[in-house]
Amino acid sequence: GENVEQHPSTLSVQEGDSAVIKCTYSDSASNYFPWYKQELGKRPQLIIDIRSNVGEKKDQRIAVTLNKTAKHFSLHITETQPEDSAVYFCAASKEGSSNTGKLIFGQGTTLQVKP
């Protein structure tokens, strides 16, 4: 079945530095790739997403890139701040298929931003 691998599992950066989290998916039919941020004890919240017809998407300090050929997608956070500290999850799904809506999540990356 579909599998999503996420790396690294933990990431520690200094405030102001950039952070990059990478994911690889197995099903070439996947066409929707969201990223969720989960603060301690809270719900996962969608922060950015990308569809397979786009190679890059930006929203202020965060950006996501997609390489369909290599089946890779990445989250980039620039000018990190302590409030960016959280667990980040990538996910993949196949919209428009019989499995529409079925998100497969990566294992998560714990990001720590040191002041």
Asked if 10 is part of the footprint of another protein (rule: CB under 8 A), the reply reads no
Asked if 44 is part of the footprint of another protein (rule: CB under 8 A), the reply reads yes
From the list 19, 23, 22, 3, the residue with the least C-alpha distance to 11 is 19
- The piece of 13-21, 52-60, 65-73, 85-93 that touches another protein (CB under 8 A) is 85-93
Asked if 106 is part of the footprint of another protein (rule: CB under 8 A), the reply reads yes
Size of residue set near another protein by CB under 8 A: 23
Report d(CA 6, CA 108) in Å as an integer.
Answer: 6
Those residues whose C-beta lies under 8 Å from the C-beta of residue 113, and which sit 6 or more positions away, are: 13, 14, 15, 19, 80, 81, 82, 83, 84, 85
Asked if 43 is part of the footprint of another protein (rule: CB under 8 A), the reply reads yes
- The piece of 12-20, 32-40, 57-65, 73-81 that touches another protein (CB under 8 A) is 32-40
Report d(CA 76, CA 26) in Å as an integer.
Answer: 21
Asked if 37 is part of the footprint of another protein (rule: CB under 8 A), the reply reads no
Asked if 108 is part of the footprint of another protein (rule: CB under 8 A), the reply reads yes
